[in-house]
Amino acid sequence: MENNQPLGVFDSGVGGLTVVKSLWEHFPNEQIIYFGDTAHLPYGSRDPQEIIAFGKEIINFLLKYSVKAVIAACNTSSSVSLSFLQKEFPIPIIGMIEPAVRAGIKKTKNKRVGVIATSATANSGAYERTFKELAADVQVFVQACPLFVPLVEEGRIERRETYQIARSYLQPLQEAGIDTLIFGCTHYPFLTPVIRHILGDEVQLVDPAEEVVMELSSLLKTDGQKKTVPQHLFFASGSVASFYTIGKKFLNSYPLTVEHVSLDEQGRDDSLSRKTAST
């Protein structure tokens, strides 16, 4: 990979910004091209073939910027389409599942690990399969949390209803006696204060973003040649305004510019048409 090529990151919405933030901390000179497929949010309730088609279109778009690698910063896409995308494209594509599982294995003491995820990720069995491959003696308890992504995307985090919903999702995991919880969706770290309040300090939380960035570091050339501050680009297939509002807040008032790009559902290379730019 060439040092001056950017990195691509995509998610169904703003959740992948947790990965962007971690990338900035570890690789401040790397340019990021981010795509949030907010027009098709949430991925968790969609058909697997749709998710695969979206992933292909998004990566084709990112390749227009000559990205050297792509992070599928979406657990749903990672669990459903990663193997297809890795076969389809000639660049490294890194998913979220295996790095998260490795971190969970390191952290757990009682070998009882919980995973909160979208319905599609939970139904895919991806976490159970990966734990079985890497540490068969660890018991994994996967809980679907379909309302979490809409709550984050709508900015409804510190609401009473959010705490009530979170308690109902987390109760089975508490009853299972987990000592480690994996965020099986990049949107979920936004809910860390809520989840920490409910689970207390006894349960260790795993944000896969850090683990994914560490995996990426082995692929990057870090020869220090890039000295200029990179210009990061952000694209959204749906509402630019909501992406901008949430992204600006989460990225510590970074001077964010979000451009709208429409995604056609047919998976054709020419199915992307840029429409407008924001703020």
- For 7-96+212-277, CATH number out of 1.10.1240.10, 3.30.70.360, 3.40.50.1860, 3.40.50.300 equals 3.40.50.1860
Over residues 112-127, the mean pLDDT reads: 94
Exactly one of 149, 185, 206, 212 is catalytic; which is it? 185
Tell me the pLDDT of the chain averaged across its residues.
Answer: 89
Q: Distance (Å, rounded) from C-alpha 10 to C-alpha 60?
A: 12
Over 154-172, what HEC string results? CCCCCCHHHHHHHHHHHHH
pTM as predicted: 0.85
Active site residue 145: no
CATH number for region 98-207: 3.40.50.1860
Give the pLDDT confidence score for residue 275 in this predicted structure: 44
Q: Is the pLDDT of residue 77 over 90?
A: yes
In the chain, CATH 3.40.50.1860 sits at 7-96+212-277, 98-207
Question: Which of 42-46, 186-190, 220-224, 270-274 is predicted least confidently?
Answer: 270-274
Q: Distance (Å, rounded) from C-alpha 51 to C-alpha 47?
A: 7
**For residue 245, how far is the Cα from the chain centroid?**
18
129 — pLDDT class (breaks 50, 70, 90): very high
Exactly one of 20, 74, 182, 199 is catalytic; which is it? 74
Strands (E), the chain: 7-11, 32-36, 69-72, 93-94, 112-117, 139-144, 180-184, 204-206, 233-236, 258-263, 272-277
Give the pLDDT confidence score for residue 71 in this predicted structure: 97
Q: What is the pLDDT of residues 211-249, one digit of tens each?
A: 898 888 877 765 445 557 789 999 999 989 889 988 888
Residues facing 273 on adjacent strands: 262
Q: Is 71 helix (H, G, I), strand (E, B) or coil?
A: strand
Over residues 97-105, the mean pLDDT reads: 95
